[in-house]
Amino acid sequence: MSPPPEPVEPLAAPPPHGVAEGPVPAEPLSLWAGYGVEVEFMIVDADSLDVRPVADRLFDAVAQGADGAGEEDDPEPGGDDPVVEGVGWSNELALHVLELKTPGPVPGLSGLAEAFARSLERAEELLEPWGCAVLPGAVHPWMDPVREFRIWPRECTEVYRTFDRIFGCRGHGWANLQSTHLNLPFHGDEEFGLLHEAVRCVLPLIPALTAASPILDGRVTGALDSRLLAYRDNARRVPQVTGSVVPEAVDSRTAYHRIVLEPIYQALEPLDPEGVLRHEWVNARGAIARFDRGSIEIRVVDAQEGPVADLAVVAAVAGAVRRAAEVLEAEPELRGRWATDPLADLLDRTAQVGRRARPERLEYRALLGLEHPVGDAGEIWGGLLEEVGLLESGGEWQPALRAFVDHGSLAERLLAELSLRRGAHRGDEVPRPRLRDVWRRLQEGLGRREVFGP
């Protein structure tokens, strides 16, 4: 966190978002030969929308065949994760979170949104007798993680409790964040180096498109992507774990272990002498290499208002990375121009102000092959979406991406719906009834496959 040979999609996402490991793939996939997608959702009280830590009961219901789905919901071969409506389910660190994922790599992204939506409907059916429902979004806007967080109590508890002991997981950066992960495959060092550099370059632009978390603790945070900023700081006791979020420039597996992983392992050793966390999944950068699966996992995407939007932004991010990789392959002299510090600075600014962030001395027009002049991050995304055809009328992702072009990220649309687009200040409290009304719209729109907007 089975279908075709996998290295792309983990059977469970790496800690702190799940630790179960699937079988090592027999044959790695090459660039663009497959995609793996994971999306996290909250389990909440159907009336109050407060978080409800009942994911273990949900998994029990599936294991006991409570939904009557038959063989399709049997545990997946090689692991304990069920597959429901063709979509894998796995637990997360927090007991109120359910992750949906492609149970193996898929050759394309078309049709996944509907599969995820059907699987969520099954989850809602199982949760209904307990008065619970599924809520989309990147964070819960009024959850108190100190009071309400419950850790997953079953398998992998040694790993989860080690994270909790070292970092303290009763904070938003561990207990209250839902993301979408995109896994892209590579085969060998040459493909790894090309893909890794393309991902590094595109990573800082992603929050401008996907920011969906402007409210925490019932208050305006002052940033559009509060989830990413909380994630950035959740391991600050051992800063090597997250680094600058944007990964360092490396072009081989050997270099990656030397520059990225070994400093993490060495810094953790005094706190984790048993080596419980000494695995490549402990790396918490915004994109991490999974050499055991032959993939790079992009982790900076906020979960959106539902699978239609989640898969739309995944398609956009995948398209941007592929375009950048093609340019870098054709013009290798561009690779040396992308230092980590300016990329990390841009990532911080897009997390704060979204599409209004303006790259400084970063040649995205050349990197993304854009024919027209571009200015801020919103204009870069608008030009890219237009040129790669994702805004074409009738396309399955067009409504969600058109909402971004016309009205901004989900974070901006949420603030507008709360009448906070202008004049809101960091720390301003939002009345709970108003928050509940708006997030109720998100919850109701989930079943209708709606894009949130004016």
Ordered by where they begin, the domains of the chain are: 149-447 (3.30.590)
Say which residues have a Cβ less than 8 Å from residue 335's Cβ, sequence separation at least 6.
Answer: 197, 328
Query: What Rg do the C-alpha atoms of the chain give, in angstroms?
Result: 20
CA 135 to chain centre: 16
Per-residue pLDDT of the chain (454 residues; tens, 9 = 90+): 322 223 333 323 334 444 333 334 457 899 999 999 999 999 999 999 999 999 999 999 998 875 444 334 443 333 468 999 999 999 999 999 999 999 989 999 999 999 999 999 999 999 999 999 999 999 999 999 999 999 999 877 899 999 999 999 999 999 999 999 999 999 999 999 999 999 999 999 999 999 999 999 999 999 999 999 999 999 999 999 999 999 999 999 999 999 999 999 999 999 999 999 999 999 999 999 999 899 999 999 999 999 999 999 999 999 999 999 999 999 988 887 889 999 999 999 999 999 999 998 788 888 888 877 778 999 999 999 998 899 987 889 999 999 999 999 999 999 999 987 655 677 789 999 999 999 999 999 998 899 998 7
What is the torsion angle, in degrees rounded to the nearest 10, for the CA atoms of residue 242, residue 208, residue 368 and residue 327? 20
Closest to 447 (Cα-Cα) out of 123, 129, 139 = 123
d(CA 6, CA 4): 6
Cα(327)–Cα(157) distance, rounded to whole angstroms?
44
Kindly state the tokens that stand for 197: 């550099």
Model-level pTM? 0.91
Whole-angstrom Cα distance, residue 208 to residue 231?
17
**Of 253, 195, 202, which is closest to residue 33 (Cα–Cα)?**
195
